[in-house]
Amino acid sequence: MKRELKKLAGELAAYIRTVDEDTYMPPVTGNQLPVTSNQSQVASYQLPVTSNQLPVASRRPPGDGAEMAALIEEMKQCRKCLLGNSRLNAVFGVGNTAAKVVFVGEGPGFDEDHRGEPFVGRSGALLDKILDTVLGLKRSDVYIANIVKCHPMVNPENPEARGNDRPPTPEEISACRPYLDKQLSFIKPKCIVTLGSVATRVLLGVTQGISLARGKWYDYPVELFGPGHPIKVLPTYHPAALLRNPNLKRDTWEDMKMLKAFIEK
Ligand code: SF4
Ligand code: URA
């Protein structure tokens, strides 16, 4: 009963987020039309169109909206690997689907499984802090996803236990990969930040440890913008590693400054 309620709560939270995302408009820089008093804020919001600026709506990625919603529905029913049997909630991703940067973690943990949103536990709080203090961004400015969408558990019989996390297996990773590929092809970010060694190995095929791989730009091997226009990938430490070893924060801060310089370029 408790589990069913939690699942329902997670699904409701996920639904509310999709509604928010559907109505979310990226901030428009430049002159904005004033909202007049006899119109409602939502109805009167107009995007200023200047000669060199397309309306924001038409710059939104083609996958946003119906295609993305269909993918989320498919994933919620997904049983392509065994993780689908023990999850409470499939965790698709969160944030701005027109973001310049996508952060990719490993897979949902206890908190994410319960809430249906990536990086909402202790690692997530630290990720939010890094976004805020180093990049001046909120999670709604970027997009956050994981390599696998369901919680890999040591003991799948007990989704209510904390400390029941394990890395995803190669079979789970390859079963789930199409969801991430589609997400990325819809969002078409300028760059991807891989959080930790699993995401780095999966997306780049880099086998060296994260301490050697981090802090350098790589080309994403999948060409979403056509030949010669690679998406850039920056590996850095997973926030969970920083919680275990705060000495790694300094390097992570350096990596985030590289990211800031790149996205502001
Ligand atoms: Fe499907 Fe991915 Fe969940 Fe496996 S982890 S059941 S492939 S959504
Ligand atoms: N760790 C991850 O890799 N992803 C999450 O969503 C949470 C913790």
* CATH code: domain of residue 15: 3.40.470.10
Inter-axis angle of helices 249-263 and 122-130, nearest 10: 50
- Assess if residue 25 is contained within a domain: no
- Assess if residue 26 is contained within a domain: no
Distance in angstroms (rounded) separating the CA atoms of residues 183 and 92: 9
Q: What is the pLDDT of residue 63?
A: 57
Q: Is 260 in the pocket of ligand 1 (CB under 6 A)?
A: no
Q: What is the pLDDT of residue 253?
A: 98
Q: What is the pLDDT of residue 195?
A: 98
- Assess if residue 48 is contained within a domain: no
Query: Which positions ≥6 away from 203 have C-beta within 8 Å?
Result: 104, 147, 192, 194, 220, 233
Q: What is the pLDDT of residue 225?
A: 84
Distance in Å, CA 263 to ligand 2 centroid: 23
Q: What is the pLDDT of residue 106?
A: 98
Q: What is the pLDDT of residue 242?
A: 98
Long-range contacts of 155-164 (CB under 8 A, 24+ apart): 156/82, 156/83, 156/85, 156/86, 157/86, 159/3, 159/86, 159/87, 159/88, 159/110, 159/113, 160/2, 160/3, 161/110, 162/110, 164/110
Question: Structure tokens of 43?
Answer: 């109805």
| 168 close to 143: Cβ distance less than 8 angstroms | no
Domain range for 57: 2-20+53-263
Q: What is the pLDDT of residue 13?
A: 56
- Assess if residue 34 is contained within a domain: no
The preferred substitution site among 79, 81, 85, 180 for testing ligand 1, maximizing ligand atoms within 8 Å of CB, is 81
E strand map for the chain: 93-95, 101-105, 143-146, 191-195, 218-219, 232-236
> Which residue, judged by its Cα, is nearest atom 7 of ligand 2?
119
Q: What is the pLDDT of residue 227?
A: 87
- Assess if residue 71 is contained within a domain: yes
- Assess if residue 153 is contained within a domain: yes
Q: What is the pLDDT of residue 43?
A: 36
The preferred substitution site among 238, 242, 243, 244 for testing ligand 2, maximizing ligand atoms within 8 Å of CB, is 238
- Assess if residue 125 is contained within a domain: yes
The closest ligand to the CA of 238 turns out to be 2
Q: What is the pLDDT of residue 22?
A: 41
Stretches where the chain sits below pLDDT 70 are 1-64
Domain count for the chain, please give it: 1
